Amino acid sequence: MENAQDVENSASLSKKRFYEYQTMNPTQRGIQLNIITQIIEGSGIFVNIPLPGQAQKTKGRPKGTSNKPKSTTTRDPYHFNHIRNRRRSQKNPSKFNQSEKS
């Protein structure tokens, strides 16, 4: 026998489901009715969907490959000094041209 609390819970659940059914659009209602009739007739399919074992990591940047070789080349700091001097000479050509002439 069911106790009074189980009866109340099932009644409130059925009211919720009926309200959800009434708020569906007609296409969704038809789909739901077809599924219910298939289950009642025995031709419906129940699929057991297992829960994931671990939490899925969906945010953040993906890790790179772990077998990537380390870079053996380093930047040449002198190259940057040469470029900086070249840019300075292009901005003020008279100042640098005079020092080169003398």
**pTM, to two decimals:** 0.33
Task: Give residue 102's pLDDT.
Answer: 47
Among 14, 20, 16, 43, smallest CA distance to 32 is for 20
Domain that holds residue 7: 1-45
Confidence of residue 16 (pLDDT cuts 50, 70, 90): confident
| Span 61-98, pLDDT tens digits | 767 767 777 776 666 666 667 777 777 788 776 665 55
Query: Would 94 be classed as within a structural domain?
Result: no
Task: Give residue 65's pLDDT.
Answer: 67
Query: Would 98 be classed as within a structural domain?
Result: no
Query: Would 92 be classed as within a structural domain?
Result: no
Decide: helix, strand or coil at residue 34. Answer: helix
Query: Would 27 be classed as within a structural domain?
Result: yes
HSE-CB for 50 with a 13 A CA cutoff: 3
Among 91, 95, 71, 74, smallest CA distance to 83 is for 91
Residue holding tokens 């040449």?
76
| Span 22-71, pLDDT tens digits | 888 889 888 888 888 888 888 767 777 777 787 777 777 767 767 777 77
Task: Give residue 77's pLDDT.
Answer: 65
Q: For the chain, where are the alpha helices, taking DSSP H only?
A: 4-23, 26-41, 77-91, 93-101
